Amino acid sequence: MNKHVLAADLGGTNLRMAVVDDTGTVIHRCRTKTPASGDYAEVVSRIAETAKQCLDAVEATASPTRLSLAIPSSVRPYDGMIVYSPAIPQLNGSRLADDVSQALRMPVTLENDANAAAVGENWLGASKDVRTSICITLGTGVGGGIILNGELYRGVDGTAAEIGHICIEPEGRKCGCGSRGCLEQYASATAIARMAEELLPEFPNSILHGDVSINAHSIYNAGKGGDDLALKTFRRMGYYLGIGLSGLVNLLNPEVIVIGGGASAGWDLFADEMRSELDKRAFQQPAERVKLLRAVLGDDAGILGAARLALNSTAVGTA
Ligand SMILES: [Zn+2]
């Protein structure tokens, strides 16, 4: 008999939930919108209601006994307090696991979404069976997760692996975190669009001049068609990613770095530049050792990672 858990990925826009078994097979999915208002109680009730729908739907075949939530926030490992939640600010300072647990009458645990994605890729994806790996998610922002010797590394307060906020350009662009020149400002989907717009005056013949809503996807398509502006934008992104990775490689000597998230779809336009910049800057031994791989689990990385954490957990939960 397989064990089952409820696993969820709470994003700024959507709440996706699934019943997952201990082989990583998703047996049922539920999806709803994340409440747009600033009301914390509404987030709690939306999660609990969606969980109940999911549980009702699988009632005949599975009995999940806990809920594992991936959230875009830093979670303090020792007491479950959410210490930083820029995408869903109403979670700041809350104990979401306790509150959902009360509403649902089931143990609930929390994990940062990029950490969960790293666990998911390490369980069933690109870094499967690798002991020391890093996962970087290139989306609207840039997230990171670190697996050290088979264990997720959270740091003392749960804020570790904020790879998107490593400085790679000291006097660079201001970042939402308060610093400037962070990797996120040069390697996220948002940054790709901004960098392309900044380059428009240098490339009067670029096809992107006719693009009213430039985004990472349209820039990628232009690049595939040979557009010089688009190609330069992705090379620039790869250059900055390579600088960031060289620091990580020198620091942690990982076996694999997995790169996922929507903007990783531009892989063939930035990977060469990323690799060559890494090789120029990192120590030779760890640079030769590390494999740079595309993520394989797509949007499911966070849910599967959350499921894995709950399946492996021996704790009785926070209820
Ligand atoms: Zn930052």
What's residue 24's pLDDT?
97
Backbone angles phi, psi at 15, to 5 degrees: -110, 115
Residues flanking ion ligand 1, Cβ below 5 Å: 165, 175, 177, 179, 182
* Prediction pTM value: 0.95
What's residue 316's pLDDT?
40
pLDDT in tens, 192-238: 999 999 999 999 999 999 888 999 999 999 999 999 999 999 999 99
What's residue 144's pLDDT?
98
Q: Which two tokens stand for residue 280?
A: 């120029």
Residues pairing with 195 in the sheet: none
What is the residue-averaged pLDDT of the chain?
A: 95
What's residue 313's pLDDT?
75
- Å from CA of 117 to ligand 1 middle: 20
- Å from CA of 10 to ligand 1 middle: 22
With a cut of 50, list the residues of the chain below it in pLDDT.
Answer: 315-319
DSSP string, the chain: ---EEEEEEE-SSEEEEEEEETTS-EEEEEEEEPP-SS-HHHHHHHHHHHHHHHHHHTTTT-----EEEEESSEE-TTT--EEE-SSSGGGTT--HHHHHHHHHTS-EEEEEHHHHHHHHHHHHSTTTT-SSEEEEEESSSEEEEEEETTEE---TTS----GGGSBSSTT--B-TTS-BSBTHHHHSHHHHHHHHHHHGGG-TT-GGGG-TT--HHHHHHHHHTT-HHHHHHHHHHHHHHHHHHHHHHHHH--SEEEEESGGGGGHHHHHHHHHHHHHHHS-HHHHHHPEEEE-SSGGGHHHHHHHHHHHH--S----
- Å from CA of 180 to ligand 1 middle: 6
- Å from CA of 142 to ligand 1 middle: 9
- Å from CA of 144 to ligand 1 middle: 13
What's residue 212's pLDDT?
87
Torsion angle of C-alpha atoms 305, 121, 166, 236, degrees rounded to 10:
-140
What's residue 314's pLDDT?
52
- Å from CA of 177 to ligand 1 middle: 4
- Å from CA of 172 to ligand 1 middle: 11
- Å from CA of 185 to ligand 1 middle: 7
User: Alpha-carbon distance 106 to 118, whole Å?
Assistant: 25
